[in-house]
Amino acid sequence: MQLPPSSASAWRRLSTQGAVLEAAEVFIRQYAAENPDDGDPRRRLAEVTAEVERFGTYEHTPAELAFGARVAWRNAARCIGRLYWNNLIVRDLRYVTHPDDIASECFEHLRIATNGGRIRPVVSVFAPDRPGRPAASLLGEQLVRYADDPRSAHRVALARDLGWKGGETPFEVLPLLVQPGPGLAPELYEVPEDAVLEVPLTHPRHPGFADLGLRWYAVPAVSDMLLEIGGVTYPAAPFNGWYMGTEIGSRNLADTDRYDLLPTVAELFGLDTRNERTLWRDRALVELNLAVLHSYEQAGVTMADHHTESRRFLAHVDREGRHGRPVPTDWSWIVPPLSGGTTAVFHRYYDPEDPDLRPAFVHRTAAWPHRDHAWRDCPTHSAQ
């Protein structure tokens, strides 16, 4: 049966309200179960129901927001560092909505997380989407990325379209891009030097390694994921833990579609690269990872090695099991990209991923248009 336009609109509204209420109830009951001192959840459920029926959404209490963000980390199937999920520092910035202020708070996030090198896990939660009022988002995988990283090519092009003149020198930090809303031109902000701690890479046994001029930043603050808690979506919620050495040494610097440095390292160490049976790639990969771990230790910057972090992850699995909670895990991400078979996480199975599990940090589709930027003719576009 075809519903008349007004009835169809009302049905869609009620359907959306129903989905929000269903997700909210699951979350509020989970919160109450894990925080029994906060009392019976029925009163809170009545408040949430009234809000959703009136506004189409509801507002989390500060305690609910903090709990939801921490559980989202606990549910992150690709993260090996979840042992410390309950220590996540949650910055409630839902009142911050202007791009200038969002950028300023993102830079403050980096300073707080850096903590002089003793990295702290932090999430900064900005305004949520509301019915008919989508909130601002951040464009880019991480708050800090380098312009010469091949993975940054699209973001570099977008920044240059907005008037950025940089990107000509190695390891130059890209500006932060804040998009006020879907279809609106992003605003561009240079990242202050005091917000980014970088580590020059050296090798403990080869002085010539320093001449490669390599470096990497201290805080991996992911910024391209949505935070979903109980039917409410926060499109800007950058979060960080600390690096595991292989993320830099085996992926960022070694992958052929990133910096592709294994041939360079092999040449530096005089390895025989004439055929694969010499295992030159493997030997170069170990030396590159050793340099990363050595450099961060020398600089006093928190970094985990893959053997230690693997044991910590199994401690997390055991602890969650004692609480009767599953640990959804993507094996291909948990097993490190160096010497995987020698790590504690390799020789076992895990609880499968659950794409519907919430709270969660959720990957979103590209947050900006492709090269034919839809906002080119938008009156709010102002190149800087």
Distance CA 66, CA 370 (A): 35
The runs of H, that is alpha helices, within 300-357 are 306-322, 331-334
Of the candidates 244, 263, 260, the residue with the CA atom closest to the CA atom of residue 252: 260
Point out the catalytic residue in the list 242, 280, 368, 375: 242
Of the candidates 216, 158, 166, 228, the residue with the CA atom closest to the CA atom of residue 191: 166
Distance CA 252, CA 260 (A): 8
Tokens 């030097």 correspond to what residue?
A: 193
Point out the catalytic residue in the list 44, 70, 74, 82: 82
- At 35, list the tokens: 């925080």
Point out the catalytic residue in the list 228, 247, 287, 309: 247
Distance CA 179, CA 185 (A): 6
Active site residue 82: yes
Sheet holding 176-179, edge to edge: 137-139, 176-179, 187-189
Active site residue 276: no
Residue 48's DSSP bridge partners are none
Neighbours of 309 (CB within 10 A): 22
Radius of gyration of the chain (CA): 23
Active site residue 242: yes
Asked if residues 80 and 179 have their Cβ atoms less than 8 Å apart, the reply is no
Contacts made by residues 280-286, CB under 8 angstroms, sequence distance 24+: 285/249, 285/250, 285/254, 285/338, 286/338
DSSP 38-99: G--HHHHHHHHHHHHHHHSS----HHHHHHHHHHHHHT-TT-S-GGGGGG-EEEE-TT--SH
Supply the residues annotated as catalytic: 79, 82, 242, 247
